[in-house]
Structures are given as C-alpha cells and as structure tokens.
C-alpha cells in the first residue's frame, strides 16, 4: 500500500510568519507510516498552522513538507488534497448537500461516483445508520455531523488522515466514543494519522506519539507512557499535570 519505504510525512525546517508574527519557527520532524501522532499545545502554539502546511491550506514561508517522499509544494493542489483525509474543527459539512453527497464529494471531484453501498459502508464505519444518507446536515446532531465528517475524510481511501481539533465541539460522551472509533479505524486501515488537539488527556489516550508545541516550536516528542512517567520537559509536564490532577481527584472521590 505505501508509496515508499521512508517516512509517511516529513517536515523540514518548516516556518510560517503572518506579518510580524512567527506562527511556526523551523520545525523538523518525521512521522512514520502507521503512526497516530497527536500535536498538542495551547492556542497560538502553531499546531494547526503546522498541520495545514501538509495539504497546503497554509503555504509555509520557508522549509518544505514531504508526503510519502514527495514535496507537497510540487504536487497539484486538488489532487494532493484528495489524497489526504481531512477532518475539520468546524466540521464543514456542505449544508445544501445530503449526507451521501457530502461523503461522496471527494470522489465526485475526482470524476468518480460512489455508490449507495459504499456510502452505507462508510456510514457503518462511523457507527451511523445507513438511512442517514438521505438526510440534510441540519437534521443531524453535532456528534452525528462530525461522524459524517470522518466518513467524508475516509471516502477517498487516503493513506493519511489529518484532524484539526476534530472533537472540540462535541459533548464529552460523544467525544470519547468517536475518539475510540477513529482510533479503531486508524488501526483497521493502517492509516497514518495526525491529530491536533489542546486536550492532553485525549492525546495521551488516543495517540502513540505526542508532539508538544509551544511558540511555534516542538518542545517535546514522546510516547504517552514517557509523558505520564514525567518526561518531555517543563511545558509538556504542565499540560500533563491537568489530566493527572483530575485523575487523582477522581481517585480520591472514589475512596
């Protein structure tokens, strides 16, 4: 399945400035095929900007991004984006299209039509009823909408799944179950997944590698176990402290 033997994704000295502000400052990191990577940081740390350089929603001011060995700057924009599954923070379903049309939009742009059985299959993957296919997005709950968003991202059989705060707008229960489901799909399809989140607990529980960003730079690159064990430095530990503290208080309550 993989296009090359090397890393699925490589950032080489990627930087991005907006006017005077430097959102991303010379990031270099490689992501191996099949990894589930969480990009964690406070708002304004540059994590979303870095993610968007992959499918060129943001063009870097310097450096380059390699996707399966190819510089993304040299790839045709539309084709590149269709090869990458993308789940948006704002969900971004097209309000004038049915659920089935939303799911099929990527293949449709590539000139293919996906059939009802494929739509049903994708809906099933995200634990939605096949009947939903004919509904309009406005008739769905927030959680159902983001499930459709995930199904849309998977419709083009991507190797790479990018998620920009995918569960930020969802209630905790939905968030938890959809997170588990995405982790399952990642495994099932052998995806490489990069998820941006500000929630360290989510990152620790879902990812197998956590990159912590601060002021446009990666300040920690650890396995979840290492972070929980106290690694990764000060900034990373400040983020880990929040869920740890919550867990301790919950443990006290149950005594």
Partner 1 sequence: MNGLWGALMGLGDQLAAHVLLSAAAIALGIMVALPLAIWASRSDKVARISLAFASLVQTIPALALLALFFPILLSLRSVFGEGLPTLGFLPALLALALYALLPILRNAVTAQANLDPGVVEAAHGVGMGFRQRLWLVEAPLSAPYIMAGIRTAAVWTIGAATLATTIGQKSLGDPIFAGLQTQNWALVLAGCIASAGLALLADTILGTIERGFRDRRRSLWLGGLVAVALGLGAALFAQFGGEDEDAVVIGAKGFSEQYILARLIGQRLEEEGFAVEYRDGLGSAVAHSAAASGEVDIYVDYTGTIWANQMQREDNLPRQKMYEQIAEWETANTGMHLLGRLGFENAYGLAVSRERARTYGLASIEDLARVAPQLTIGGDPEFFERPEWIAVREAYGLRFAERRNFSPTFMYNALRSGEADVIGAYTSDGRIEADNLTILDDPRGAFPNYDAVLLLSPSAGRNQGIIAALEPLIGAIDVGAMREANYSVDREDNKLSFEEAARQLAERAGL
- Which residues make up the interface to partner 1 (CB under 8 A)? 55, 57, 77-82, 86, 88-96, 105-106, 109-110, 136, 152
Residue 79: CB minimum distance to partner 1, A:
7
Q: Which two tokens stand for residue 209?
A: 């590698």
* DSSP code of residue 135: S
Residue 233: CB minimum distance to partner 1, A:
33
Residue 107: CB minimum distance to partner 1, A:
10
Closest to partner 1 by CB, 103 vs 200, is 103
181: nearest Cα among 122, 138, 226: 122
Closest to partner 1 by CB, 13 vs 90, is 90
Closest to partner 1 by CB, 89 vs 177, is 89
Residue 89: CB minimum distance to partner 1, A:
8
85: nearest Cα among 135, 122, 60, 139: 122
Q: Which two tokens stand for residue 28?
A: 């270099």
Closest to partner 1 by CB, 65 vs 212, is 65
Closest to partner 1 by CB, 192 vs 224, is 192
With beta carbons less than 8 A apart as the criterion, state whether 148 and 93 touch: yes
Q: Which two tokens stand for residue 250?
A: 């919950």
Cα distance from N-terminal residue to C-terminal residue, the chain: 50
Residue 84: CB minimum distance to partner 1, A:
9
Q: In angstroms, rounded to a whole number, what is the distance separating the alpha carbons of residues 90 and 167?
A: 10
The region, left, alpha or beta by phi > 0 then psi within -120 to 50, assigned to residue 205 is: alpha
With beta carbons less than 8 A apart as the criterion, state whether 100 and 116 touch: yes
């Amino acid at each position: 399945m993989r296009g090359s033997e090397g890393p699925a994704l490589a950032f080489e000295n990627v930087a991005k400035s907006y006017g005077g502000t430097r959102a991303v400052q010379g990031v270099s990191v490689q992501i191996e095929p099949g990894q589930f990577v969480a990009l964690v940081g406070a708002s304004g740390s540059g994590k979303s900007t870095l993610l968007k350089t992959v499918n060129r929603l943001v063009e870097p001011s310097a450096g380059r991004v390699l996707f399966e060995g190819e510089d993304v700057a040299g790839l045709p924009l539309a084709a590149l984006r269709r090869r990458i599954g993308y789940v948006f923070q704002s969900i971004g379903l097209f309000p004038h299209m049915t659920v089935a049309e939303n799911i099929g939009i990527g293949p449709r742009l590539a000139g293919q039509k996906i059939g009802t059985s494929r739509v049903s299959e994708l809906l099933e993957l995200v634990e939605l009823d096949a009947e939903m296919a004919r509904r309009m997005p406005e008739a769905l709950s927030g959680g159902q909408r983001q499930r459709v968003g995930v199904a849309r991202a998977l419709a083009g059989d991507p190797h790479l799944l990018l998620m920009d705060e995918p569960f930020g707008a969802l209630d905790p229960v939905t968030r938890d179950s959809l997170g588990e489901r995405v982790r399952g799909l990642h495994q099932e399809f052998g995806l490489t997944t990069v998820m941006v989140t500000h929630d360290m607990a989510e990152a620790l529980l879902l990812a197998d590698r956590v990159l912590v960003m601060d002021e446009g730079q990666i300040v920690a690159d650890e396995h979840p176990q290492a972070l929980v064990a106290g690694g990764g430095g000060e900034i990373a530990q400040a983020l880990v402290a929040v869920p740890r503290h919550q867990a301790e208080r919950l443990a006290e309550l149950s005594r």
